[in-house]
Structure 1
Amino acid sequence: MCGMPQVPPIRSTPARPFRPDASMSLITNVMDHSLDDGYAEAAARKKAAGQGALPKPLRARLGLAAGLVLAALVVTVGAAQARVAAPVVAKERQELIDRIDRETAAADKLESDVDELRAEVSARQRQALRQSGGNPQADLVSTLAGATEVHGPGVKLVVDDAKDASTGGNGNPRETSGFSDTGRVRDRDMQRVVNGLWQSGAEAVSVNGQRLTALSAIRAAGDAILVDNKPLVPPYTVLAVGDGPRLSTRFQNSPDGLYLHALQDNYGIRTAISTESDLRLPAAPSVTVRTAQPSTEKGTS
């Protein structure tokens, strides 16, 4: 009997178990494969590429050389720019110096013109007083006020800094603001000298050619001594018109003369006094009349 052909039995393979995280393939890959593998692969590639690179010491030298070249380039460019700007700066500086010189010369000329005009005004005033029969004591008052030039016997006193005078102080009580060296002549020293000469009988006084009046001031500006706002340079030459021998003796015996002598002994300040037969003192550059009243007395011709 014919039977139906036999079909080989179908063997079913067991199904692989289903992973709960099958839908999260990216996270699964990250968890299954460590990042160290990627680093290791990159390091291998870098090592293979570096087999033909330069050695480390040579690379360091090349870097240093490149830095030196860059620094030299910067210095060269700066020097070139400085050479280009130097003539411009020098030209501007010279122009400024020339301008200062011109303005100084113009100021000196104006000051000279002012002095000439003042002298002319004073001469006209004296002439007008004489023509109008003014007070005969006007000339004496004008002389004592410093408005006119005077000459006659008197005393010449020279005061100078010590030989080793400097600008460094040493904490001495004599040191005050304006001057730090005890061997330098100061404004208060000149004040005492001038006042001492007036008190000793001087009729007219000048310092370095600067005529003093009742309104004159001796002050300090930094290390300089000013007489009526004009700076003086040592040595300081003081001229005093009067009875020469008597004026010299009285001044040297006065407290101010003894003060000057103490400066010489203690601080090395140099002084020299002498009597002169004829001294010439200029008129004061500026005498301002603040108050004036007409005289009721009639002058005699």
Structure 2
Amino acid sequence: MVDPVRPPTPDTRRALGGYDPEAGRNQHEANAPTLIPVPSLLRSLLSDHLDPGYAAAARDDAKPRRRLANASWEVLAALAIATVFAFAVGQAQATAPGVRETQQALSASVRSAEQAADAATARRDAVSADLDAERRSRLEGDERGRQLLGDLDTATFAAAATAVRGPGLTVTITDPGVSKDLSDVSKGRVEGSRQVILDRDLQLVVNSLWASDAEAVSVGGVRIGPNVTIRQAGGGILVDNKPIASPYVILAIGPPNAMQDAFERSPGLQRLRLLETSYGVVVTVSAGDVVTIPAGSVRDVNFGKEIGDR
């Protein structure tokens, strides 16, 4: 039986062209001396095509080239980054004067609008006072006129259109600023804002004061009436479209002792106590014999819709 021809293995191919560790051993004669194989010059020339010294020299010569290529890429990357930064700095310096001028113009426009609004408010209050004095002088002369004045006073008080003075509560809320561990992500705070108290907190306090039998309420010097809103505007709070800032002073007129007892158990004060414990908000509640709340702005109602069962 003839053995099949096997393809040469890597060791066989190496033995054919160079040094074979088994070459020269006597495998057929028993007790015969074992020859130590020694590679011949021919086999060495056939197997080792490159002198080890040349190979080492080639490797040493390639290393500086690789280092030079890597250094070149690093230099190019650094130059690209420096170019981008230089362009950004130059563009910022070029646009800075225009940005400052625009900011100054906007600030001046806002201050001018605020001054005009304050002047218009003062004129409106003066005209309203003159109108009220004239109306009273004409209607106080007879019984029907006095009854009409009583109805008007009731309506204007319900509309928060008259100033009120009497005993009540003063709630002062001081915002401590930024806290590192604010966890109420649903509040949607503006990044970088130093604000913990938000519009929903003040709304809850005002509703709790109404539920505690308050007769009139103001927030930040603004009377709370039927058409007044408390809402967030970026990093600030607007009451009747007027900005207010910390500390927030909330005044409420009513029986001070009974109102304070009810307010202590209300959700509004519980919310403030939670913010006080968690974020360092400062909350003070004090009763007073004389609390003055200004009149609110009155707007004309052009449309109304009844809500609920008739």
Q: TM-score range by the shorter chain?
A: 0.5 to 0.7
Which of 94, 103, 110 is the equivalent residue of 1:104?
A: 110
Is structure 2 residue 252 aligned with structure 1 residue 240?
yes
Judge conservation of contact 1:208–1:238 (CA < 8 Å) in 2: yes
Determine the C-alpha separation between the residues in 2 that align with 1:152 and 1:177. 36
1:261-272 map, 5 Å: 261-272=273-284
Determine the C-alpha separation between the residues in 1 that align with 2:237 and 2:104. 28
Query: Counterpart of 1:35?
Result: none
Aligned-residue CA RMSD (Å)? 3.8
Change (3 A) 1:227 1:167: farther
Deviation at 1:157, TM superposition (A): 0.4
Identity of aligned residues (%): 32
Which of 198, 204, 208 is the equivalent residue of 1:196?
A: 208
Is structure 2 residue 216 aligned with structure 1 residue 213?
no
Determine the C-alpha separation between the residues in 2 that align with 1:179 and 1:207. 21
Given the two structures, how large is their TM-score scaled by the length of structure 1? 0.58
| Greater mean deviation of Cα atoms: 255-264 or 93-102 | 93-102
Is structure 2 residue 167 aligned with structure 1 residue 153?
yes
Q: Which amino acid in 2 is paired with 1:232? A: I
Unaligned stretches of 5+ residues in structure 1: 1-70, 293-301
Secondary structure of 2:263's aligned partner: helix
Judge conservation of contact 1:152–1:277 (CA < 8 Å) in 2: yes
Count of residue pairs the alignment pairs up: 213
Secondary structure of 1:264's aligned partner: helix
Query: Counterpart of 1:175?
Result: 185
Which deviations, in whole Å up to 9, do the C-alpha atoms of 1:199-248 show, x marking residues without a partner? 11111111111111122111112232221222221221111112222221
Deviation at 1:164, TM superposition (A): 6.3
Is structure 2 residue 234 aligned with structure 1 residue 228?
no
Change (3 A) 1:105 1:267: closer
Judge conservation of contact 2:198–2:232 (CA < 8 Å) in 1: yes
Judge conservation of contact 2:177–2:196 (CA < 8 Å) in 1: no
Deviation at 1:97, TM superposition (A): 5.0
Judge conservation of contact 2:221–2:293 (CA < 8 Å) in 1: yes
Change (3 A) 1:265 1:105: closer
Judge conservation of contact 2:160–2:224 (CA < 8 Å) in 1: yes
Determine the C-alpha separation between the residues in 2 that align with 1:168 and 1:263. 12
Judge conservation of contact 1:146–1:211 (CA < 8 Å) in 2: yes
Q: Which amino acid in 2 is paired with 1:280? A: T
Which of 113, 131, 135 is the equivalent residue of 2:149?
A: 135
Secondary structure of 2:186's aligned partner: coil
Judge conservation of contact 2:182–2:279 (CA < 8 Å) in 1: no
Q: Which amino acid in 2 is paired with 1:122? A: S
Determine the C-alpha separation between the residues in 2 that align with 1:137 and 1:113. 31
Higher Cα radius of gyration: 1
Which deviations, in whole Å up to 9, do the C-alpha atoms of 1:16-35 show, x marking residues without a partner? xxxxxxxxxxxxxxxxxxxx
Query: Counterpart of 2:299?
Result: 288
Deviation at 1:98, TM superposition (A): 4.8
Determine the C-alpha separation between the residues in 2 that align with 1:160 and 1:112. 26
Secondary structure of 2:150's aligned partner: coil
1:86-101 map, 5 Å: 95-96=101-102, 98-101=104-107
Q: Which amino acid in 2 is paired with 1:287? A: V
Secondary structure of 1:112's aligned partner: helix
Is structure 2 residue 216 aligned with structure 1 residue 185?
no
